[in-house]
Amino acid sequence: MNRNTKAHGSNHYEIELPHGALHVFANQEIYESFEDKVFEMADNNLRIPRNKYMAYTPDAHVGIGTCIGTTAVWNMKDGMVSPSIVGVDIGCGMRVHTTPLHKRDLQDKEVRRKLIETIEKYVPTNERVNSNYADIDIMEVVRSGLKGLPDKYIPSPQWITHVEESNFRYDHSALEMLPPKIRKNAHGQLGTLGSGNHFCEIQYLEIAEEYKELAAQWGLVDGGVVVMIHSGSRAWGAMVGREHTKTIKEAMHLWGVSNPDPNLNYAPISSREGQTYLNLMYSALNFAVTNRHMIAFGVQEAFRELYGPQFQMPVLYDLMHNYALKEFHRGQPMLVHRKGATRALPPGHFLNTPVYKATGHPALIPGSMGTSSYIMLGRDEGVKNFYSICHGAGRLRSRRATRLAVTVDEFSQSLRVGTDDEIVVNHRSLDTILDECPQAYKDVDQIIDSITGAGLADVVAKCKPMAVIKGI
């Protein structure tokens, strides 16, 4: 595919494709590693009418219909919504909790093993159903998010206030469009990780020197132990995505609308199909934020079993990286799709949640398994990318290709197995999660360098892994 490339300062490229402009935020090494397929997919996305902006973050890689690592924007009044540019795991995102522990408290790897075993009692990893929370009404959760939980599951008001959104409001009548089996499939999945790249990780912090004061305001200290959680909307979001992608695909056929990629689906925001999808997507966002909340609740229960009933795990932040949200930019309401992209608002921005209005909110970026994760802060310059940054390292190889290219021994070495600072994993056999090894992903440090070099965000803290819980 022919494409003209224009550089806009450091780590920012604008590529003119046959159907529109694509912005790419990446350093030269990452930019040159992009395969042709990602640009082909971008051009297919740009065929969607009235697009106002489209960009890739450095972790961009091929997905279904749309690359993971995409930000795409339309005006609310005459724009489009695309389930393909939201992704199948609606509301997938990150959550971080601080603890009163220091890394020296977990220096003994047998202590870390015991912690993992205890967490697995409260956060099941080998079952589809979590029977610990049978008293939670799934319909109250999808209608009202965290506000649909019984009071006993809210350890403190801070667990409600320190999140991107605790209750996505929408027209609940849209729920009648879903098949009855969705409740059965999602029943008992609250508080479960799921498989793939989802995880719960115990980490310790290395604070950036220039952000020690801000880190202290956020409750972060050098060597402090934190809990990072990555999960989404489980079966509820999967069924919403699957059912309504089918509905919109059928509508596109009736409208006589097509795209070279049969997996790329979209509808006018104002259409019945578009409105129904948006309402149901919000129900999945409510499920996702509540799911991460309940995983964290289970982790806190595990810590309390080991360290006493007074153990507290304050929330740092919870945010999403797969969604479409109405936001105000350039003086007008716009629908911002982020598929594998994280919103990173700077200090003072009006879209910040109230508790982070002055400082800007923590932007939570996971690394690959066995590598560092990051807590970042958006910069004012992020306006050029609608305040979107990366959502992680981004896959370098498919799961199948990873299993062909990487050995269990190489994976074991990356986790420093057998050493005192081994990254302890809940899986007894690393072969079961080989496709999640660090070698399956891009170099997260290069990804972060791309973001900071482009002026989109700064690093506040690096999170070093000590123990990892993966689902099956």
**Predicted pLDDT at 326:** 97
Does 391 qualify as catalytic in the annotation? yes
pLDDT (0 to 100) of residue 395: 84
Of 439, 370, 368, 371, give the one whose Cα is nearest residue 410: 439
Nearest residue to 388 via CA among 461, 463, 334:
334
Tell me, what's the pLDDT at 1? Answer: 62
In the chain, what are the domain boundaries? 4-396+441-470
Nearest Cα to Cα of residue 40 among 58, 72, 13, 65: 65
Alpha carbon dihedral 299, 280, 146, 224, in 10-degree steps, equals: 40
Residue 124: its pLDDT value, please? Answer: 85
Residue written as tokens 């153990």? 311
Residue 197 in tokens: 């790249």
Tokens of 210: 């220039």
Judging by beta carbons within 10 Å of its beta carbon (0-12, 13-18, 19+), is residue 237 exposed, middle or buried? buried
Task: State the catalytic residue, choosing from 97, 230, 349, 391.
Answer: 391
Q: What is the pLDDT of residue 9?
A: 87
What is the third-level CATH fold of 4-396+441-470?
tRNA-splicing ligase RtcB (3.90.1860)
Look at residue 197 in the predicted model and tell me its pLDDT: 84
Distances (CA, A) of 134 to 58, 129, 155: 41, 10, 18
* pLDDT tens, residue by residue, 190-216: 999 988 889 999 999 999 999 999 999
Q: Which residues contact 296 (CB under 8 A, 6 or more apart)?
A: 95, 97, 159, 227, 229, 313, 315
Distance CA 341, CA 392 (A): 8
Per-residue pLDDT of the chain (472 residues; tens, 9 = 90+): 667 899 898 999 999 999 999 999 999 999 999 999 999 999 999 999 999 999 999 999 999 999 999 999 999 999 999 999 999 899 999 999 999 999 999 999 999 999 999 999 999 887 667 778 989 999 999 999 999 999 999 999 999 999 999 999 999 999 998 888 888 888 889 999 988 889 999 999 999 999 999 999 999 999 999 999 999 999 999 999 888 888 999 999 999 999 999 999 999 999 999 999 999 999 999 999 999 999 999 999 999 999 999 999 999 999 999 999 999 999 999 999 999 999 999 999 999 999 999 999 999 999 988 899 999 999 999 999 999 999 998 887 888 888 888 888 888 888 898 888 889 998 767 888 888 887 888 899 999 999 999 999 999 999 999 999 988 7
What is the spatial distance between Cα 32 and Cα 200, in angstroms, rounded to a whole number? Answer: 32
